Structure 1
Amino acid sequence: MCESRTVTAPTGLRPGGWNWPRAAAAPAPAPAPAGIVLGVLTNLAQGRLPDRWSQIADSGAVRSVVAFAAGAVPADRVSSVTAAVSGLCAEAGLVVGYYACAEFGRDGMGALSWPLVWLVMAFVAGPLFGVAGVWWRHGTAAWQRVAAIGALTGVFGREGIHYAWTLN
């Protein structure tokens, strides 16, 4: 006979001392469409913001926040692997949305090499910042939370130094 059972992951001690069942969650479908929408908005903002302000729309650090948020927002119910996939989907969505808007809404995206370069960067940065987001929100060790914030502040610091050097 076929028997139907509900299988749940083992419970773990959560903040506040409560035992909550850990749900085995798949990546949320929201990061990719959210990334696409933000990619389109990024492309549009670059053409409408004044010169130096348009750098914010083209900022890799700002884009990293999207992957960080993809890992941090559902952090109480996802694994690091799921957060990495969510961050990847968000970053890849940003690239797809940006270049789709450039190709179909503006004067074209130019050479295919640039979208491919940024897609490779999304495949590197997306999972890293997705995991950083889940570590920041729900890290079990202090070093995880420190590393997560350090990664995000490091990318902003590096970009700030770069822009201070090149824009002045």
Structure 2
Amino acid sequence: MEFAKRLYQRFESLVHELAKFGSIGALAFFLDTGVYNLFLLGFEWGPLTSKVVATTLSATFAYAGNRFWTFRHREQTGLGREYFLFFLLNGIALLFGLLVIGFTKYTLHLHDGLSLNIANFAGVGLGTLFRYWSYKKWVFLEATEPIPVELPEVRQDR
């Protein structure tokens, strides 16, 4: 039991960070899937166009959640830089989804909603692995100085 406790203590910050990343990711996944199906099945847009719209909306949500909650303890290197890198890396992750969906529809000739949703889930899974690694490496950098958990008291002289 002592081994498990020491192991947890060693990886505590990683476990918490992964839990937060997973929570934001789960919400973004439901947003992505809902928007994807709305446009694919509701508006009968093509699967690739539906995926681009869904990813754009869910990535915007994920950026805010990850910046201000998951990785708030990391260095803030400027909104413009982070936002650009975040969406560039999400664009690369989107390619995973588009390749899987495109392969399903245009190579396997599976056009039904279930097959396209399974392809979407597989693409999201591959993209998630890439996003977690790339956000930590390039977008939300390690803090060079400790970031306080709470804001300091503001002294009001009268």
TM-score by length of 2: 0.41
TM-score by length of 1: 0.39
